[in-house]
């Protein structure tokens, strides 16, 4: 019955889109995913006494308290074609909640008598005590699908009907994207935000032709960031961490030289580049640029891009690498000719 299930899912999405949801005020409501845990179709945010912010989105709770902050934060651009799961399975209903959800659908008759009858048999709906696994209340959950709300390719590929998983048991091995630490790691990676990459330059106001311009990033801002994704009901979580490793400088004109020659400044002692100090005007900076002509009445668009290495660790002790990512910004640089003084 895949066709029926897909039709029902699409109809449900359309219905949800046209009916306003009544939910508690949310924090960081821009999260991904459809629905929440325990059958909720909204998001739930909780702020702990230590300022930790957790947001329930699509059966998954995201702790973003160690994420990047500020006005210029942004998502990483993956260095590969890898992408996070477009849909996934997670605990969705208790036995009583699934019964409350499905019976009105069957009573409406919109899915056809034969399909409704098969569903009633599947969930043993006519048994008041054991139907929908009510005899297992508190010992497991009915799992269901959730989707990335941006609806990327493959968002509708999670077409398995609801399935039961006892607490402590792994989800069925043949169901792709049922939440495991590795799946949660991909979802956490998609939530990582890193700070902007406007570099500090010296000279600051305007640089001069043929004189080195020093460039560096504040080490306090460029430190590892992380997001933890978890499903508390089943005690599974994973943390995705991104660490800055290098800065690439593109001067915005071919008439320039970069330092080092590769244009890639490695991170050292928690800092990228070195702040300019008095007396070093003619020294070669460890990270910087030298413009060979002026920008005239305009500016050169200097592009600064930081590369972040990413990895994950899971509650089961597993872990591994995630794709490296980049995040950059462009800033205008004024380059002036050195003025000679005639006496």
Position 119 confidence tier, pLDDT thresholds 50, 70, 90: very high
List pLDDT tens digits, range 218-262: 766 678 999 999 999 899 999 999 999 999 999 999 999 999 999
Write out the two tokens for 223.
């430190």
**Rounded mean pLDDT, 127-147:** 94
Give the chain's mean pLDDT: 82
Please write the tens of the pLDDT for every residue from 280-294: 877 899 999 999 999
CB 236 within 8 A of CB 180: yes
Cβ proximity of 312 and 322 under 8 Å: yes
Q: Are 308 and 323 in contact (CB under 8 A)?
A: no
Q: Is the pLDDT of residue 32 over 60?
A: no
Task: Determine if the peptide bond prior to 226 is cis (ω within 30°).
Answer: no
Peptide bond into 9 cis (omega under 30): no
Q: Shortest CA distance to 312 belongs to which of 233, 236, 219?
A: 236
The pairing of strands 300-314 and 207-208 is unpaired
Strands (E), 25-67: 44-47, 53-57, 60-63
Helices (H), 76-164: 95-108, 113-122
pTM of the entire structure?
0.78
For the chain, how many residues are written? 343
The pLDDT-based confidence of 145 (bands split at 50, 70, 90) is very high
Q: For position 219, what pLDDT does the model report?
A: 67
Under a CB-based contact definition with an 8 Å cutoff, are residues 55 and 45 in contact?
Answer: yes
- Of the candidates 276, 108, 293, 134, which has an alpha carbon nearest to the alpha carbon of residue 208? 293
Helix, strand, coil percentages (3-state) for the chain, rounded to 5, are 20, 35, 45
What is the C-alpha to C-alpha distance for residues 301 and 252, in angstroms, rounded to an integer?
A: 5
Element (H, E) at 62: strand 60-63
């Amino acid at each position: 019955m895949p066709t029926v299930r897909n039709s029902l899912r699409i109809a449900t999405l359309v219905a949800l889109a046209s009916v306003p949801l009544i939910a508690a005020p949310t924090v960081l409501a821009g999260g991904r995913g459809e629905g929440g845990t325990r059958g909720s179709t909204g998001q739930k945010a909780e702020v702990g006494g230590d300022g930790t912010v957790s947001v329930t989105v699509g059966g998954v709770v995201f702790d973003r308290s160690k994420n990047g902050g500020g006005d210029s934060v942004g998502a990483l651009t993956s260095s590969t074609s890898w992408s996070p799961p477009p849909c996934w399975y997670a605990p969705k209903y208790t036995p009583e909640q699934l019964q409350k959800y499905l019976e009105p659908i069957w009573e409406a008759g919109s899915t056809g008598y034969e399909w409704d009858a098969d569903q009633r048999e599947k969930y043993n709906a006519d048994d008041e005590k054991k139907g929908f696994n009510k005899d297992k209340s508190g010992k497991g959950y009915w799992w269901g699908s959730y989707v990335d709300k941006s609806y990327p390719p493959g968002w509708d590929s999670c077409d398995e009907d609801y399935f039961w998983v006892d607490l402590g048991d792994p989800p069925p091995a043949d169901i792709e994207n049922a939440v495991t630490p590795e799946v949660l790691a991909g979802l956490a990676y998609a939530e990582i935000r890193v700070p902007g990459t406007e570099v500090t330059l010296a000279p600051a106001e305007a640089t001069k032709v043929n004189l080195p311009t020093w460039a560096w990033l504040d080490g306090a801002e460029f430190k590892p960031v992380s997001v933890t994704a978890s499903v508390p009901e089943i005690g599974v979580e994973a943390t995705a961490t991104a660490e800055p490793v290098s800065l690439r400088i593109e001067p915005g004109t071919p008439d320039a030289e970069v330092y080092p020659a590769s244009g890639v400044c490695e991170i050292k002692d928690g800092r990228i580049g070195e702040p300019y100090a008095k007396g070093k005007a003619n020294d070669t900076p460890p990270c910087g640029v030298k413009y060979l002509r002026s920008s005239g009445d305009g500016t050169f668009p200097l592009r600064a891009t930081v590369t972040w290495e990413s990895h994950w660790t899971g509650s089961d002790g597993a872990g591994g690498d995630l794709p490296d990512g980049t995040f950059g910004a462009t800033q205008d640089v004024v380059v002036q000719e050195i003025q000679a003084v005639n006496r």
